[in-house]
Amino acid sequence: MLLKTKVAEKQRLFIDGEWFEAREYAPLYSPYDGEIITHIPMASEAEAEMAIQSAVKAQTSMRKLASYERSEILYNLTNLLKENFDRAAELISIEAAKPIATAREEVKRTIQTYRFSAQEANQLYGETLPMDAAPGGTGRIGYTKMEPLGVIGAITPFNFPMNLVAHKVGPAIATGNTVVLKPASQTPLSSLFLVELLQKAGLPKGAINVITGRGKTVGDYMVKHDNVKMITFTGSPEVGKQIREKAGLKKIVLELGSNSALIVDQDTDIEQVVSRCVQGAFSYQGQVCISLQRIYVHENLYESFVEQFVKETRKLKTGDPLDEQTNVSALITSNDVERALSWIDEARNSGAKICLGGTSKGNVLLPTVITNASPDLKVSCQEVFAPIVVINSFSTLDEAISEVNNSRYGLQAGIYTKDIRKAIYSTEQLEVGGVIINDIPTFRVDHMPYGGVKESGIGKEGIKYAVEEMTVQKLVVINNSIQ
């Protein structure tokens, strides 16, 4: 691997503004070529406890900061990220095998996410209440204010190691909370880099703590801890369900998986949409929560859509994530390659057609296009999280909508149609958190409300919405009638 960025041989935990060596370490391997990148601290429960206590203590200094000061820290961070843009992108690319061009896009979005957070820090409005609307309320003044919850436990996945951390850390700082961050074991480097920058940006000591290590150990410890007031989790539904069971009365936000779908109606100009659909299906090897996994194309267009889709997919280059030309690189683990290949085999053996791909080169699964797959196959009904797309045909819009809704998940769905009535009808019928008209379900910008229904999760992200989740509305009533 072409390592332009230097990575220290051994990483450290970040607790109470200090770097700590852990008692236990594990090698971090490149998902692409298996080389050791560095060694990662595997925090114990005792170290997780230190991080939580540090965050508890830092609440005092965070509460002393005015809104404009928290905003300024976040703006400082955006400037530092711009200054360190190349390093940030390379760290993501190295640890996650994310093609470098895609990693750069992630850093740009991360800067946006922190900028939105900086703006939101100055927008924490409450409301004035007409207390005298009730007979007993005469002579009283009522208003609400947004207050921080306290310590927020943030648990993040591997696939957007910088921007999905930003979706938790940005609003938490904006609202005056303190944070214990547990990044995914495969992608801790971008989080450790973030705290380096946050220190320089002026964040008070202890306001953010990073503990790396096994989710089952440190994640679980945080989830059960009484001093952690909220868990904001992005990851798989399996872990999300466990968190919900263990979190007790803590506030939780769960941003989970999906097998997102798109409807291509009969009036669509295929030429215009195919390359966008290919991008939605294969960007970051399909390891995106709103990756385009299922496409339902009107029967009149079906054959030419599949033909053009395959032609466009053939143009994708596979290989080293640090190579500028690479579009599709390695899956996050070799187990994921094996899992994806076995799901493709299941589809092949049950009569589906593998139009392209279906094999791997090392840990790179070649972009795979499957047609004629029944809804009960794993490639259709589970989250593939790999560069695999299933394309089927439909004859009526109701049939297509029912196929899209035939899923445990409901994060986002898309529809291409020129008919406004069909577009509006679809928004009413699709069981998802977001409907994207005339674009793929993979569309996301960082300030929009984002979150799913069914097994795709609970609660919303998108900075303004995360700010609401991370605050408590406190009511103040003043009796103004007593002299």
Annotated catalytic sites, by residue?
255, 289
Interface residue with ligand NAP, options 148, 170, 235, 462 (CB under 6 A)? 235
Interface residue with ligand NAP, options 61, 79, 122, 185 (CB under 6 A)? 185
Binding mask of the shown chain, residues 207 to 226, with x at each position contacting ligand NAP by CB under 6 A: -------xxx--xx--x---
Binding mask of the shown chain, residues 287 to 306, with x at each position contacting ligand NAP by CB under 6 A: --x-----------------
> Which whole-number Å values give the CA distances from 403 to 262, 305, 408, 450, in the listed order?
10, 18, 12, 22
Segment interacting with ligand NAP (CB under 6 A) among 57-65, 180-188, 359-367, 462-470: 180-188
Helix, strand, or coil here: 444?
coil
Residue 61 CB, nearest approach to ligand NAP (Å): 27
The structure tokens listed for 85 are 């843009």
> What whole-number distance in Å separates Cα of residue 277 and Cα of residue 436?
13
Quick one: CA torsion of 440, 458, 157, 112, rounded to 10 degrees? Answer: 60
CA atoms within 13 A on the CB side of 194: 29
| Phi, psi for 423 (deg, rounded to 5) | -65, -50
Binding mask of the shown chain, residues 388 to 427, with x at each position contacting ligand NAP by CB under 6 A: -----------------------x----------------
Segment interacting with ligand NAP (CB under 6 A) among 1-9, 22-30, 55-63, 157-165: 157-165
> What whole-number distance in Å separates Cα of residue 332 and Cα of residue 153?
24
Q: Does 241 bind ligand NAP (CB under 6 A)?
A: no
Q: Are 100 and 323 in contact (CB under 8 A)?
A: yes
Residue 213 CB, nearest approach to ligand NAP (Å): 7
Angle (nearest 5°) at CA 162 between 172 and 40: 105
Residue 310 CB, nearest approach to ligand NAP (Å): 26
Which residue, 81 or 256, is less far from ligand NAP as judged by CB?
A: 256
Residue 24 CB, nearest approach to ligand NAP (Å): 13
Q: Closest Cα to residue 327, out of 281, 379, 394?
A: 281
> What whole-number distance in Å separates Cα of residue 405 and Cα of residue 401?
6
Pairing of strands 360-361, 364-365: antiparallel
Q: Does 102 bind ligand NAP (CB under 6 A)?
A: no
> What whole-number distance in Å separates Cα of residue 277 and Cα of residue 473?
42
Residue number closest to ligand NAP, CB atom: 215
Binding mask of the shown chain, residues 433 to 472, with x at each position contacting ligand NAP by CB under 6 A: ------------------------x---------------
The structure tokens listed for 200 are 């320089």
The structure tokens listed for 384 are 């593939």
Interface residue with ligand NAP, options 171, 176, 257, 286 (CB under 6 A)? 257
Who contacts 3 (Cβ-Cβ below 8 Å, separation ≥6)?
A: 94, 322
The structure tokens listed for 205 are 């000591």
Which residue, 265 or 455, is less far from ligand NAP as judged by CB?
A: 455
Q: Does 155 bind ligand NAP (CB under 6 A)?
A: yes
Binding mask of the shown chain, residues 13 to 52, with x at each position contacting ligand NAP by CB under 6 A: ----------------------------------------
Segment interacting with ligand NAP (CB under 6 A) among 61-69, 100-108, 250-258, 371-379: 250-258
Which residue, 204 or 433, is less far from ligand NAP as judged by CB?
A: 433
Q: Are 274 and 308 in contact (CB under 8 A)?
A: yes
Interface residue with ligand NAP, options 255, 265, 455, 469 (CB under 6 A)? 255
Interface residue with ligand NAP, options 71, 112, 156, 308 (CB under 6 A)? 156
Residue 425 CB, nearest approach to ligand NAP (Å): 26
CA atoms within 13 A on the CB side of 458: 12
Q: What is the DSSP string of 290-328?
A: T---EEEEETTTHHHHHHHHHHHHTT--BS-TTSTT-SB
Which residue, 118 or 155, is less far from ligand NAP as judged by CB?
A: 155
Question: How far is C-alpha 230 from the geometric centre of its chain's CA atoms?
Answer: 17
Residue 56 CB, nearest approach to ligand NAP (Å): 20
Long-range contacts of 104-107 (CB under 8 A, 24+ apart): 106/160, 106/162, 106/163, 107/81, 107/162
Q: Does 236 bind ligand NAP (CB under 6 A)?
A: yes
Q: Does 184 bind ligand NAP (CB under 6 A)?
A: yes
Segment interacting with ligand NAP (CB under 6 A) among 66-74, 117-125, 154-162, 387-395: 154-162
Q: Does 157 bind ligand NAP (CB under 6 A)?
A: yes
Question: How far is C-alpha 309 from the geometric centre of its chain's CA atoms?
Answer: 27
Interface residue with ligand NAP, options 67, 79, 84, 242 (CB under 6 A)? 242
Which residue, 90 or 383, is less far from ligand NAP as judged by CB?
A: 383
Q: Applying CB under 6 A, which residues contact ligand NAP?
A: 155-160, 164, 182-185, 214-216, 219-220, 223, 234-236, 239, 242-243, 255-258, 289, 383, 385, 411, 457
